[in-house]
Structure 1
Amino acid sequence: MSRTVYVNGDYLPEEEAKISIFDRGFLMADGVYEVTSVLGGKLIDFDGHAKRLERSLKELDMAAPVTMDELLAIHRELVAKNAIVDGAVYLQVTRGSAGDRDFAFPDPEKVPSSLVLFTQSKPGMAYDPKVQKGISVISIDDIRWGRRDIKTVQLLYPSMGKMMAKAAGADDAWMVEDGMVTEGTSNNAYIVKGGKIITRALSNDILHGITRAAVLRFAREAQMEVEERSFSIDEAKDADEAFITSASTFVMPVVKIDGAAVGEGKPGRVALRLREIYLDESCKAGI
Structure 2
Amino acid sequence: MSTVFLNGNYMPIEEAKISPLDRGFLFGDGIYELIPSYFGKMVGFQGHINRINDGLNAIGIELNWSDAQWQELCDTLSKKNGAGPLGIYLHVSRGTDTKRFHAFPKNITPTVFAMAFEIPVPKTPDLATVGKGYALISSEDLRWKRCQIKSTSLLGNVLHFQEAYAAGSQETLLYNSNNELTEASSSNIFIVKEGVIATPIEDNQILPGITRRLVIDILAKDGSLSLEERVITLDEVNAADEIWITSSSKEIVPVTQLDSKVVGDGNVGLVWLKAATLYSKNKFSY
TM-score range, shorter chain: over 0.9
Contact 1:32 1:53 in 2 (8 A): yes
Counterpart CA distance in 1 for 2:134 and 2:120 is 20
Q: Deviations over 1:144-180 (max 9, x none)?
A: 1111001001111211112111222211101111211
Counterpart CA distance in 2 for 1:127 and 1:282 is 13
Contact 1:88 1:120 in 2 (8 A): yes
CA distance change for structure 1 residues 123 and 253 in 2, over 3 Å: closer, same or farther?
A: closer
Q: Deviations over 1:216-263 (max 9, x none)?
A: 111122221111112233321211111011101111101111111111
Counterpart CA distance in 2 for 1:31 and 1:134 is 34
Counterpart CA distance in 2 for 1:123 and 1:81 is 18
Counterpart CA distance in 1 for 2:268 and 2:39 is 26
Give the Å deviation of 1:184: 0.6
Give the Å deviation of 1:126: 4.2
Give the Å deviation of 1:124: 2.4
Where do 5+ consecutive residues of structure 1 fail to align? none
Give the Å deviation of 1:128: 9.3
Counterpart CA distance in 1 for 2:57 and 2:44 is 20
Contact 2:125 2:273 in 1 (8 A): no
Give the Å deviation of 1:125: 3.8
Partner of 1:212: 212
Counterpart CA distance in 1 for 2:83 and 2:122 is 12
Counterpart CA distance in 1 for 2:212 and 2:11 is 34
- Correspondences of 1:123-272 after superposition (within 5 Å): 123-126=120-123, 131-178=130-177, 179-223=179-223, 224-272=225-273
Contact 1:211 1:245 in 2 (8 A): yes
Partner of 1:116: 113
Counterpart CA distance in 2 for 1:128 and 1:161 is 28
Cα RMSD of the aligned pairs, angstroms, is 1.6
Counterpart CA distance in 1 for 2:197 and 2:125 is 23
Report % sequence identity: 35
Q: What is the number of residues matched between the two proteins?
A: 282
Partner of 2:283: 282
- Correspondences of 1:74-93 after superposition (within 5 Å): 74-93=73-92
Where do 5+ consecutive residues of structure 2 fail to align? none
What one-letter code is carried by the residue in structure 1 that aligns with 2:206? Answer: I
TM-score by length of 1: 0.94
